[in-house]
Chains A and B, each alone.
Chain A
Amino acid sequence: MESLMMEFINFYLIPGLALGSVYALGAIGISMIFGILRFAHFAHGDVMTLGAYGTLTAVWMSGLHPLLALPAGIAFAILAALAVDKVFYKPLRDLPTIYTVIASFGVALIFRSLVQLIWGTQNEVFIRGVQKPIVLFDLIRVSVLHLESIAVIVLAAIALHYFLTRTRTGRSMRAVSDNPELARVAGLDTEKVVRSTWIIGASLAAIAGVLSGLDTNIHPNLGWNLILPMFAAAILGGIGKPMGALLGGMVIGLIEELSSYTWFTDEPLINPGYKTATAFLIMVILLIFRPQGLLKGRLF
């Protein structure tokens, strides 16, 4: 019985939390951009990819551990996000949002093609070879990376909460998200808020990209392949609610991994081949009964 419990923790629960952290970090940015700029940012996955490749380049040049080289990747992702906002999204801001949404599809393709052009189409790895897990008390086997992922998401949650509730910029962001007209009338600098949104969204996306790259490998479609679960997480958590997106990401990640656990019989509850579908199914059911998402997000 005990060993079964351990199997559950080692191979289902912890990987589920680690996967959820990646989804959550991406979903926070998507949710904030949706809340403040009012459009679904389809290039967000590719911002993740850029962050991962930026970090990879820093690792190649400096030989540092990827997590130490992360600031370089974050800076690269922020620069890219601010640049596309200035060049592509800002001129479209007064038009109906569908223009910006389609533009973000274009930006996604541009980012991906640039990655292919500069770094090539082949897969890359941060650290070559197999990383042996840490074994505690002969029972818990956990990969260092998964502990790092979970630690990162906890830190991010604390920092984000502090930022949104205690700082002036954070409070302005919530004000713009709740009621942009009122915020503008009240004299808030919306352009500054927009900039902060991109900086935070891109930073978290870059971290998510690097965590995902560390867990598996880095390739030009890294972020694009994650965009659907991240959107699902943002919607599940409640659009425009960063903490909701965080929660949504963890829920989607956990459902994916836990749905194939041997809950009742010796067979997996759901064939692992269908685990992605399970996460989406639960999202759809939840939204039917609670359309505003877990944390009362916006309804469009």
Chain B
Amino acid sequence: MRKSVVMVAVAGLLAGTAMAQAADTKIGALMDVTGPLASFIPPLMNAANFAIKNVNDGGGLLDGKAVLVVGDSQAASQPAVDAATKLVNVENVPIIMGALASGSTIAAATAVTIPAGVVQISPTATSPAMTEMNDGDHLYRLVPSDNYQGDVLAKIVLAEGIKKVAITYVNNDYGVGIANTFNAAFKKAGGEVTAFEKHEDKKNSYRSEIATLAKSSPEALVVIAYASGSGSKIVKQAIEGGFFSRFIGTDGLRDDQLIKEVGADALKDSFFSAPTSPDKNDASAKLHEAFNAEYKEGADKPFVDQTYDATFLAALAVEKAGSADKTKMIQALREVASAPGEVVGPLDWAKAKELIKAGKDINYEGAGGSYEFDANGDVTGYIGKFIVDGDTYKQIEIFQ
């Protein structure tokens, strides 16, 4: 008797979830939760969840709720492929936001999402290799390619009066991409590169590498690596060994983790470049206020804007397509992201849903930029110059 009651209850529960699921739509997310980007993730996870919350508070996605399904791509190729395979084949998501690192984004796209025909929007991947990829228009990103960041960084370095640098970069898609563009741009603009060496991530000692890099007395060391991976260790060991006192970093190194490990004092002469949001942007201010009201802190952390925008755009594409049919996502994404159309911004889900329902064209202008994708799925954007200020970073200049 009791057994049958339990059976009925279980059956009821199952039916209940099945019914709820039928109406809900999954949005996939590849987040590098563990690994060298781990310290970036907590505010970004909030950003993605916040976008989904806005969707659900503003009337939901299609006829039900939006549900974020997260896979841990670990900023490495193999875990990214595993996580993406699960999202595509098991969860059947129509569209994927992520991944964050260039390496995991490219691996997931090449092995899983492009063959499966699923659109993938990375909020942060900057490798120039993505521009040339034969992706059948499935791969998008919301930050400018490092072809651009490399050029800007070369200008910033020369403007600081530094003419002779050594470069070390992490041996992955991110490091190789930006190191090559920076190296070429810096030399072309008249700078001298005394050493150009790659290194492996996940080692404990980089002392012999640094000793090699310090030969022929460069004025500063350009470190293209993730702070939670090899970046902080290299900076720390270079200072401890007395090799370098001035460092130049990119967006991977501009992480509070670096200050936590090395200390602000030791970094007072160093500076960093990173994709940033346009100056005095209403959409960004609006998002930050709402974000901090929800989570108390973190709206100004790197890539919160882009991660929110990528998740929001993914949801908009599904809404525009009118169903969770993955084949309709390319056209839908391009329509909602690009001009012409009525402008909608962050938090405007209810308005966007209304306009789409009325058959009007919309144009999402996000907190991190306006995202007019070119034929390669790339955007133009903004690069900021950052210096250390207490426990975090301060933007002191912006380049377009």
Chain A contacts to B: CB under 8 angstroms: 7, 10-12, 15, 18-19, 22, 116, 121-123, 125, 128-133, 141, 143, 212, 215-217, 219-221, 225-226, 256-258, 260-262, 266, 268, 271-273, 275-276
A215 touches B39 (CB 8 A): no
Distance from B203 Cβ to chain A, minimum over Cβ atoms (Å): 7
* A-B CB pair tally, cutoff 8 Å: 103
- What residues on A are CB-neighbors of B35 within 8 Å? 221
Beta-carbon nearest neighbor of A260 in chain B:
B208
Please state if A15 and B34 are interface contacts (CB–CB under 8 Å).
Answer: no
Indicate if the CB atoms of A130 and B263 lie closer than 8 Å: yes
Other-chain contact of B207, A15, A116, A129, A217 (Cβ < 8 Å): A15
Query: How many angstroms from the CA of A132 to the CA of B266 in the assembled complex?
Result: 11
Given contacts A122-B38, A130-B262, A266-B215, 10 further A-B contacts (CB under 8 A): A10-B241, A15-B208, A116-B34, A130-B239, A133-B240, A133-B242, A215-B204, A257-B208, A258-B208, A272-B206
**What's the tally of chain B residues with a CB closer than 8 Å to chain A?**
39
> CB-CB < 8 A to A131: which residues of B?
240
Partner of B204 from the list A125, A212, A272 (CB cut-off 8 Å) is: A212
A contact residues around B199 at 8 Å (CB) = 272-273
Would A276 and B203 be within 8 Å (CB), given that A10-B241, A130-B262, A217-B233 are in contact? yes
Does B261 lie at the interface of the complex (its beta carbon under 8 Å from any beta carbon of A)?
yes
Chain A to chain B: the 5 pairs with minimum beta-carbon distance, closest first: A129-B263, A272-B209, A121-B38, A11-B211, A260-B208
User: In this assembly, does B212 line the interface, its C-beta being within 8 Å of a C-beta of chain A?
Assistant: yes
A225 to B228, CA, bound (A): 14
Interface hits, B230-288 → A, CB 8 Å = 232-233, 236, 239-242, 257, 260-263, 265-266
Give the chain A neighbours of B241 by CB distance below 8 A: 10-11, 133, 141
- With contacts A22-B204, A122-B39, A130-B239 taken as known, whether A273 is within 8 angstroms of B171 at the C-beta atoms is yes
* Nearest CB in chain A: distance from B176 CB, A: 12
Quick check: is B197 within 8 A (CB to CB) of the other chain?
Answer: yes
B interface majority secondary structure: helix
Instruction: Tell me the nearest residue of chain A to B35, going by C-beta.
Output: A221
Once the chains bind, are B215 and A19 in contact (CB under 8 Å)?
A: no
CB within 8 Å for A261 and B236 given contacts A116-B34, A128-B261, A225-B202: no
Within 8 A of A (CB), among B32-74: 33-35, 38-39, 41-42
Q: Determine the chain B residues whose CB is within 8 A of the CB of A261 once the complex forms.
A: 208
Question: Closest chain B residue to A10 by CB distance?
Answer: B241
Cβ contacts A to B, 14 pairs, < 8 Å? A11-B210, A12-B208, A12-B211, A15-B207, A116-B34, A130-B240, A130-B262, A217-B233, A221-B35, A256-B205, A257-B205, A266-B215, A272-B208, A273-B198
Bound-complex Cα distance A256 to B200 (A): 13
Residue of A nearest to B230 (CB): A216
**B212 close to A257 (CB less than 8 A):** no
Please give me the residue from chain A that is nearest to B40 by CB atom: A122
* CB-based contact B204/A275 at 8 Å: no
Q: Which residues of B contact A122 (CB under 8 A)?
A: 38-39, 42, 228, 257
C-alpha spacing A260/B210, complex, angstroms: 11
Q: Which residue of A lies closest to B239 (CB)?
A: A130
Q: How far is the CB of B346 from chain A (nearest CB, A)?
A: 27
Shortest beta-carbon distance from A161 to chain B in Å: 27
Chain B residues near A215 (CB-CB < 8 A): 204-205
B34 to chain A minimum Cβ distance, whole angstroms, is: 5
Distance of B226 from chain A, by nearest CB (Å): 10
B214 nearest CB neighbor, chain A only: A11
Contact present for B266 and A130 (CB under 8 Å)? yes
Q: Is the CB of A121 within 8 A of B34?
A: yes
Q: Are A276 and B200 closer than 8 Å at their CB atoms?
A: yes
The answer to whether B208 touches A268 (Cβ under 8 A) is yes
CB-CB < 8 A to B42: which residues of A? Answer: 122
* Residue among A7, A266, A272 making CB contact with B197, cutoff 8 Å: A272
A260 and B257 form a contact (CB under 8 A):
no
What 0/1 readout, one digit per residue, does chain B (170-188) give for beta carbons within 8 Å of chain A?
0100000000000000000
Given contacts A123-B228, A128-B263, contact A271 B197 (CB under 8 A): yes
- Of B41, B208, B211, B260, the contact of A125 (CB 8 Å cutoff): B260
What is the CA–CA distance of A258 and B205 in the complex, to the nearest angstrom? 12
Q: In the complex, what's the smallest C-beta–C-beta distance from B194 to chain A, in angstroms?
A: 12
Q: Is the CB of A272 within 8 A of B212?
A: yes
Which A residues are CB-close (under 8 A) to B41? 121
Query: Which one of A22, A132, A133, A272 has the greatest number of beta carbons of chain B within 10 Å?
Result: A272
A132 contact set on B, CB distance < 8 A: 240
| A123 x B266 contact (CB < 8 A) | no
Considering only CB atoms, which chain A residue lies closest to B215 in the complex? A266
Cα-based distance from A128 to B42 in the complex (angstroms): 21
- Write the nearest CB–CB distance from A260 to chain B, whole angstroms: 4
Residue of A nearest to B171 (CB): A273
What residue of chain B has the Cβ atom nearest to residue A123's Cβ? Answer: B228
What CA separation (Å) do A141 and B240 show in the bound complex? 9
Q: Are B200 and A257 in contact (CB under 8 A)?
A: no
